Amino acid sequence: MSLQNIIENWSSYRKGAEQGGHHNYEHLWGMVIDLNKCTGCGACVTACYAENNLAVVGHEKYSRNLGMNWLRIERYWDEPDLGEESVAEYQHHGASFLPMHCQHCSSATCEPVCPVAATYHTPDGLNAQVYNRCVGSRYCSNNCPYRLRYFNFYSYYEESWPAPLHMQLNPDLTVRDKGVMEKCTFCVQRIRTAKDTARRERRKVRDGEFTTACAQTCPTSAMTFGDLLTLHTPGGGVGETEAASLWKKHQVELGKSRQQKQNPELRGYRVFEGLNTDPRVLFLERVREV
Amino acid sequence: MSVTGLLFSGHSSCTRADTVVDRGIRRLPVLVTLFVLCAFAFFLPQPAQAQSPIPNAVPPTDTYSGPRVEQPIEFPHDVHVEQNGINCMYCHTYARRSKVAGIPPTSKCMGCHLVIATDKPRIQKLTEYWEKREPPPWNKVHDLPDFVHFNHEKHIDRFVLGNDFPVERVKEVCAFCHGEVKNMTVAEKSRPLTMGFCQRCHQANEGPFDCWKCHK
C-alpha cells in the first residue's frame, strides 16, 4: 500500500471497524491469550527481546519508562479486603497478569495520525511500522490507548550489544536507531518466511506452520497465534484455524465495539473494546475461586 | 540448370518440359539471389535467439555508474559467461532457492581450476588461498541497505522458473538488476538499486506494492 493509495482512498481508509474497515485482507493474523494459563513468568518477554533485536536500555533508563519491551506483562493486584479477610488470604489471591503487545487494531488509532504514513495496515491485517520512513513525530504513540509503541530516545546499539554480542542480532530485522518509533510486528519476519516457503511449494500457509516468538516460548501455551480471516470473510485465508475457532467458541466477533454474548460463562474479551479500535488480540478471562 | 531443375522438379501443373525450362530461366536471377541470401544468413552467427524478449516482463532501463569495487582476485565474469557459456546459477547456486544468490565456495572454483588454466596468475593466486584453507575476501558490489528485504528466489521464480523461460538464458533476467555482467571482468554496479528503481520495475511488472514486502 503506497502513500498514493492512502491519499486516494482516504475516506475509506478512515472507515471505522463497524463499517467493515477498508481492507481486502489476504490474511488476518490474530492471537488468543488464555489468562487462565498465564503464570506471568515473563518467558515471552525474553523471547521477544531475543527475536526482535530489542535494545536493553539498562536499569536507570528503564525506571524512567524508556524500556523497549514490545511485550510487557502488566500486573494487577487485588484490592486488599480490609474487613474480615486476613493478609494471608490476600496473598493467596495474588496478582493477575496481562501480557500486552500491540493489539494490531483493525481501525488503529495510531495509523491516521502519522504525518508521513510510516504506520499503515498491511494486506495481512498487520499494523505495520516502516522504520526508514518514520520521522519520529511520536503522534502514533500518543494516540495509542494501549501505550504499546516504543520510541528510541537514544541510540542503543553500542551499549546494548557490545562487541561479541552483536553476533546474536537477528539479520531478518533492522536494528532501529535513535528517533524511530517501534512496536510489536507479530514477528513479521516469521510470517514472511512462512509465506515464502508456502509460495515455493505452491500451497497456502498452513495453520500452526509457524508462530510468533512469544507464543512459541510460552511454557503453558497460553498464547495461540493464527489467521482469523474466516471470521472476517468466511472461507478465506488459511481456513478455520485454532485461533479462529477459539474466537468463535467464545463468541467474540470482529468489527464490533460491544459484544453480545449468550452465555455469561464465556470468558473472551478484548481490551478497550469500547473505544472501537477493533483489536485483534482476544483475552480469555481468568477464572478464580472466590 | 541443376538449381532450376531441382527447384522445379516437384512442379506438377506444368506438362511440357520447355515451359518448365522457360519459366526457370526467367526466374533464375531472383532464385540465385534468394539462395545466396539464405546461405549468407545460415553461416552468420545467429543473435536472433538471444534477442527474443522475455515473456511477461518489462526490463528496467535505469543505469548507474559509481566507483569500482576492488576485489582480491580480478575474477573475469566475461570469460566464464560469454566465452565458456557457464550459467550464472552454476556458481551463484542459491539464487533459485533462497534470499541470497551466494558466493561459491573455493572448492567449486577448484573443481575446475585444479586442471584448467593453472598457469594463469589469477588462478595461482586462487590456489594460494585454497592451500591456505581461506576463502578469498570478496567485497560486496551490490549492497542493499539493512532495512531492505530482497529475495532472489521469488524474482527467479517470477521471471524464469514460473514463467516458462529457459533456465539457460537466466542471465538475461539477472541483467535486470545486475547489468551485463557477461561483459565485465569484476562485477560492477550498473543499476541504481534504489527504492525508485525497484518501484518502477514493480509497477511495470505488477509486483507487490506493500511497504512491508521489502522493508523490514
Which stretch of DSSP H or E encloses residue B49?
Answer: helix B48-51
CA distance A238 to chain B (A): 19
Q: What is the pLDDT of residues B31-74, one digit of tens each?
A: 555 555 545 454 444 444 456 788 888 999 889 988 889 999 99
Answer whether B154 sits within 8 Å of A2, measured CB to CB. Answer: no
Set of chain A residues whose Cβ sits within 8 Å of the Cβ of B151: 196
User: d(Cα B144, Cα A6) in Å, to the nearest integer?
Assistant: 27
Cβ within 8 Å of A, B 82-121:
97
- Residue closest to B114 by CA, chosen among B100, B138, B131: B131
Q: What is the pLDDT of residues B117-172, one digit of tens each?
A: 999 999 999 999 999 999 999 999 999 998 999 999 999 999 998 888 999 999 99
User: d(Cα A214, Cα A189) in Å, to the nearest integer?
Assistant: 14
Residue A92: what pLDDT?
56
| Per-domain residue ranges of chain A | 3-10+25-284
User: Band of the pLDDT at A79, cuts 50, 70, 90?
Assistant: low
Answer whether A188 sits within 8 Å of B216, measured CB to CB. Answer: yes
Phi-psi region of B179 (alpha: psi -120 to 50; beta: other; left: phi over 0): left
pLDDT of residue B3 exceeding 70, the answer is: no
ipTM: 0.80
**CATH says A3-10+25-284 is which class?**
alpha beta
CA distance B201 to chain A (A): 15
- Write the residue in A128, A175, A196 that is nearest to B212 by C-beta: A128
User: Residue A101 CB: number of other CB atoms within 10 A?
Assistant: 24
CA distance B60 to chain A (A): 20
User: Band of the pLDDT at A151, cuts 50, 70, 90?
Assistant: very high
**SS3 state of residue B148:** strand
Residue A188: what pLDDT?
94
Residue B16: what pLDDT?
46
Rounded average pLDDT over A80-109:
73
- Write the residue in A122, A172, A200 that is nearest to B153 by C-beta: A200
- Write the residue in B147, B151, B211 that is nearest to A1 by C-beta: B211
Residue A8: what pLDDT?
72
pLDDT of residue A141 exceeding 70, the answer is: yes
Q: Is B149 on the interface with A (CB under 8 A)?
A: yes
Set of chain B residues whose Cβ sits within 8 Å of the Cβ of A1: 209-211
In chain A, the residue whose alpha carbon lies closest to the alpha carbon of B145 is: A174
Residue B32: what pLDDT?
55
